[in-house]
Amino acid sequence: MSRRILEEELKRKSVFRDAGKLLPDYVPASLVHRNKEFRWLAQVFRPIVENRASQRALITGGVGVGKTVLAIKFGSEMKAAAKDRKVDVDYFHINCRKDKSDYAIYAKLVQHYNPRWPYHGLGPEKLLNMVVSHLKTQDKFLILVLDEVDYFIQLNGPDIVYALTRAAEEAGERNRISLVAIAKDQSFLYRLDEATKSTFMHNILRLPNYTAKQLQDIMEPRIEEAFKGGAVDTEVVEMISEAAAKRGDARLALEFLWRAGMIADREGASEVSTEHAREAKTEIHPEFKKEFLRELQLHERLLLLAIARKLRITDQAYAITGEVEKSYEVVCEEYEEAPRKHTQLWEYYKRLEGLGLIELQSSGVGQRGMSTKISIPDVPLTWLEKELVSNLKRK
């Protein structure tokens, strides 16, 4: 029985080629729209290969703006480029949310350099010394990324940053550890001592939020890798990128895509539709707008129903006001109501927009309201229609 279910599921067709390519930990082959930032890092860390000097930089930015992936790309490329120049530069990435103490971080490093070294029972200082002397005897340089360092410092205080930047210098040696700190913003810096703080203050890279267009460019190569050809059309990509652009967040855009694909698979669809994208969105933000629906006046309901129907039938992300109003007249006929005039409808549109139920986007030409694009990006249409119909009584 369970085997049969499993077989059925395994044989079920899928919109995905490899859904794993959308997961947050997957590192894409190339970064899009971060060339300037990559170049900045190259300039800051150039002295490692050139003068065998250590450097420090801080990368900040909101959720999903590519801080982690930029550091991963930079670290690995730098390691390769240094090797070509006969400098042994190593790169190691620590996520401070996973490794929450000095001890955990140093133990990771010790393990990285020699898994056979016995390190249990040793204090953090001793562990750091093991790393420092290994770097020295092997003539290695390390680029250490402390990802989510703000979280770590909140938990443990700032000593680790001090220890890592000064460990070698205090022993009168060349400092071989360069740091890339990653944090939401720079506010944690005030907890560092003046000298350490100022080394970071000089090198802060703030990653801006992605725009909808940039998110589309990030999504496109991922769609190629993750989905079967033609499974996701541009309407869906636009809808998702616009939603995620409100936060400028690439992780959110990819999560939307992944969820929309899972929903399409669940329904046995061969393509991801805009309705799947809407559903994916409510899965991510489950705050349903039911309470807003209750507030609507009769004709606001009829108009919203008309919009929902139009969008569902055409399977488009947008409908134009003219089309919607034809659909509204049909709905009015069905419920035996006299349709309201265009000017009155415009007020309803505005109110529906104010409640966050629809979005209006003027295409900039023609008479006011005539050429406006209307979308329902946040609510699944089938759910919305069902809710509206159950509250509307036919005469």
Ligand X SMILES: Nc1ncnc2c1ncn2[C@@H]1O[C@H](COP(=O)(O)OP(=O)(O)OP(=O)(O)O)[C@@H](O)[C@H]1O
Catalog residues that contact Mg ion under the rule CB under 5 A: 68
Q: Which is nearer to ligand X, 218 or 384 (CB)?
A: 218
State in angstroms the smallest separation of the CB of 225 from Mg ion. Answer: 21
- Rounded to whole angstroms, the Cα distance separating 99 from 91 reads 17
Please tell me the number of Cα atoms within 13 Å of 126 on its side-chain side. 7
Residue 43 CB, shortest distance to ligand X, in Å, is: 19
- Residue 19 contact partner, candidates ligand X, Mg ion, none, CB within 5 to 8 A by sort of partner: none
The DSSP symbol for 191 reads G
366 binds, among ligand X, Mg ion, none (CB under 5 to 8 A by kind): none
**Which of residues 52 and 184 has its CB atom nearest to ligand X in the complex?**
184
Token readout for 88 is 């042994």
The least CB distance from residue 237 to ligand X, in Å, is 14
Tokens read off for 42: 């190259």
Binding at 28: pick from Mg ion, ligand X, none (beta carbon under 5-8 Å per type): ligand X
Q: Least distance in Å: CB of 249 to Mg ion?
A: 11
User: What is the contact surface with ligand X in residues (CB under 6 A)?
Assistant: 24, 28, 31-34, 61, 63-69, 218, 250-251, 254
Estimate the crossing angle of helix 212-226 against helix 250-266, to 10 degrees: 40
Q: Which does 206 bind (CB under 5 to 8 A by kind): Mg ion, ligand X, none?
A: none
Distance from CA of residue 293 to its chain's centroid?
30
Residue 59 or 231: the one with the smaller Cβ distance to Mg ion is 59
Nearer to ligand X, 17 or 251 (CB): 251
Residues 6+ apart with CB under 8 A from 10: none
Q: Are 241 and 220 in contact (CB under 8 A)?
A: no
Distance CA 129, CA 117 (A): 13
- Closest distance to ligand X from the beta carbon of 83 (Å): 24
| Distance of closest approach, residue 337 Cβ to Mg ion, in angstroms | 53
SS3 (DSSP) at 32: coil
For 273, other C-beta atoms within 10 Å of its C-beta total 20
- C-beta of 32 vs 131, nearer to ligand X: 32
